[in-house]
Every structure is written in C-alpha cells, then in structure tokens.
Amino acid sequence: MNHLFPEINECSRRSLLLHAAKTTLGLSILPSFSNGANLAKPDKKPPCERVIFLYMRGGMSQTDTFDPKEKNSIGGKSKPVKTQSPDLLLSDQLPKLALQANDLSVIRSLTTKTGAHSQARYVMHTGYRQRSGMTHPQLGSWAQMFLGKSHPVLPSSVLVASGNPGPGFLPPEYSPLPIGNASRGIKDLLPEIDKQQLDRRVKLAQKFSAAFSHYFPHDDVKSYNDFYDQTVKFISGDMAEPFDIQREPANLKNRYGNHPFGQGTLLARRLVERGVRYVQVTSSQNWDSMHSGTNSLDRLSNELDGTVSALMTDLRDRGMLDSTMIVVTTEFGRTPKVKSNGGRDHHPNGFSAMMAGGGIRGGIAVGETDDYGRDPFPEFEPKDIHATIATALGITGTKIRRLPGRPTFLGGKPKPIKEILA
C-alpha cells in the first residue's frame, strides 16, 4: 500500500473533500473524483433559485418585530396585531409586512449557545461555533461548491455593507464579492487605468505565473490562478451595470428607503435578477438596545418594515418572489422585559427570524415562546436555518457527518425546518 501514499498526498484539499463525500454518501450532486472541477446540479428544479439574506446587526428585538407579547408587565410599546394571515400575528411596528403575511413566515423558537455579539454573529453566518485555527464557509460559498457557479462572469455570492467569514477553508474561487457602498457599486474596485494598459499588465502577469504553474501543478495553485483570471474578466468587461443602482427609477429607490440598508437591498434584488445566487445585506442601523435602545425602536422598525416589504413587492411584481428566498435574521434576541433604563439585555434563548418567498410556505409561525418570551419550543438553532435554506436550494449534502481533516457541512447535524418549507 505504500505506493498509494504519493498519490494521496497530491490530492488537493477540495478533491479530497468532494471524493470523501461522494464515496461515503453517494451524493449525486458531487462530481467524480477525476472531474472535481465541475459540479452537477440537482435533476429536479429546486423551489428556490436564489437567496437574499438580510442581517439585522446588534441583536434584533423579537418582541418588537416577530414575536410580540400581550403582557403589560413586560413593558415596551409594541403590541400584537392581526395580519393578512389569520395564523400569524406580528408587532404593530411592522404594518407593511402585516399586509404581506401570506407570503412570509416566522420562526419564533430560535436559540443559540452564546450571548456574545461576535461569537453569535459567527454562528448565524456559518452554522458553526468558532474554533481556534478554523474559519468556516458562508452559505453562498457552500452553494457554489455544491451547485456550481451561478453565472459565467458575475460572482455567485456578494456581501453588501460588512459581511461574514467568506469562503472559510474552501478555495478562493468560492469567495464572495464584498461591496462596501451600494450607491457606488463596484466603482471603488475598478482599476484607474485604461483597458490597453490593463491588458499589457495582465499578459505580463500571465507570463510570470505560467512558469510557476508549470513547476507547481497543484489544484490550490490552479484555484488562485482561476480566481485571478475570473477577476480580470470581471473588471475588464462591462460588469459595472448590474451593480449600478443609479439606473433604477427614483420612485423605486425611495420605496426601498434612502438609507444604506434600503439601497443595499435594492442592489441585492438587482444582482439576483442578473444571476447572482446569494446576496447578504447587513443593516445600516444597530439593533443593540441594551442601553435605552427602545427609544430608537421607531427608526429601526420603520427601516426594517419599509425595506423588506418593498423588496417583497418588487420581487412579486417581477415574478421572482416564488423563486427567491428572503431571510431576515440576527445574532440573538432581546429580553422581552424592558429594563429601568429603557433597554433590553441580550437574549440568546428564544428569538425570531423571518423567511419568505422561494421554498417557504408563508402565513405561519413555527415554534413559540411562553408569555414572557422564554422557554422556546421546539428549539431551533442557526444551523437549522442554514439547512432549511440549503434544502430549498436543492443542496442535499447536509447529512455529511465528518470529512477527513474538515468539519461537518452545515454545522454538524442540522435539521431543516420542514414546517416552514413549501
């Protein structure tokens, strides 16, 4: 068997990952070991083709949004109101979303094992708890690995206004494209040189890299070269148009909201319409309501309500809502009871997320907390949201338990939330 070791040592990390998954589970979506660069798509068209992931940074209050309570002893100005769906109540702070309740559903019994912002953000973005020396992939990178690229030139995933851990341990070709300012698009990323000068620089760089690639023909080297070539194609061609929200009508821009979160969400719609599979937008405002935070509730809820309802309406008008999933989530919730200073503490045990559109039933609440916003049942974790999104996208590899040298895909043993899936 010693003659096998040199061959095994030449296997790239990605090839080993995919080969182990295929041979262990017989996953039809994975390629053969000899053809690891091309990934097959599911035979059946999935209910969801693209995802817009809206992240409310700072810990969104579930009591003031998707899990309102009647108890006067809790405090706060929010109260439950009826919605378009008889099976779903929302906070009176979200009147526009209440009118679209038939197309959205809520998960009310989320829980996470950390109440620290950075660690909880990481869990919500990856499905994993942080580990020393390890960075896990974001959902867009996983989707690209299992489903292939969503567009020949455009990136398969984009992060707008801050982000997440990116491709993690996956090769650089699975990296999301970061956009800092939605109003400027990719203008800050484009080189300030003319095309002829750029072409000369590219040809010179290719000459240097050709020799290195010849003597070091490893998949990791090829991945970096492919990523570089793709970037050159991206910045050389007319790829600024999909990222230019200034081409959108002024009245539509106003409906999304003249703030970074609204314009970022409009950019997300524009990108998924043109072939990007996964876009994450982070809220421009901070939901951290620990110190007198309830005083900013009107501003926070108006932004959330106006932007998300505008997105749902826009997608519906374009015939895209049934194939585009919208996810609204945060790192943890807030204590239902308001403190004497007008704030709410961190509350990882029982918070909410909203899902709508592609692959989602709509009009229901899954899970519950008691009258005081505690004791969530049944308990769902962030990794279960990841598994739910993956299932709707047609990714069936969520049962991989452990691969050589790498952790489990999608956080261990996730369970898709079947009640919310269409």
Three-class secondary structure assignment of 14-75 = HHHHHHHHHHHHCCCCCCCHHHCCCCCCCCCCCCCCEEEEEEECCCCCCCCCCCCCCCCCCC
Which residues are paired to 366 by β-bridges? 107
- Output the pLDDT for position 371: 86
The number of beta carbons lying within 10 Å of the beta carbon of residue 185 is 22
Distance from C-alpha of 52 to C-alpha of 268, rounded to nearest angstrom: 7
CATH class for domain 42-182+240-331+348-420? Answer: alpha beta
384-403 residue pLDDT tens: 999 999 999 998 654 443 44
The number of beta carbons lying within 10 Å of the beta carbon of residue 368 is 13
Structure-block tokens of residue 274: 């043109």
Distance from C-alpha of 269 to C-alpha of 324, rounded to nearest angstrom: 9
Lowest mean pLDDT among 248-252, 319-323, 324-328, 407-411: 407-411
Tokens 């994975």: give the residue: 30
- Output the pLDDT for position 421: 95
331-369 residue pLDDT tens: 999 998 888 887 888 999 999 999 999 999 999 999 999
350 with 401: CB under 8 angstroms?
no
Place 2 in a pLDDT band, splitting at 50, 70 and 90.
Answer: very low
Tokens 């290719």: give the residue: 206
305 with 257: CB under 8 angstroms?
no
Q: Does the structure show a pLDDT above 60 at 236?
A: no
Beta strands in 118-272 (DSSP E): 157-160, 177-179
The domain limits of the chain are 42-182+240-331+348-420, 191-239
114-166 residue pLDDT tens: 999 999 999 999 998 888 888 888 999 989 988 999 998 899 999 998 777 78
Q: Alpha helix (H) ranges present in 82-218?
A: 95-98, 117-126, 139-147, 195-215
382 with 8: CB under 8 angstroms?
no
Which residues are paired to 177 by β-bridges? 158
308-340 residue pLDDT tens: 999 999 999 999 999 999 999 999 999 988 888
CA 200 to chain centre: 37
Distance from C-alpha of 191 to C-alpha of 35, rounded to nearest angstrom: 35
- Output the pLDDT for position 278: 97
24-69 residue pLDDT tens: 223 333 332 223 333 445 567 899 999 999 999 999 999 999 999 9
- Output the pLDDT for position 117: 93
Distance from C-alpha of 129 to C-alpha of 187, rounded to nearest angstrom: 35
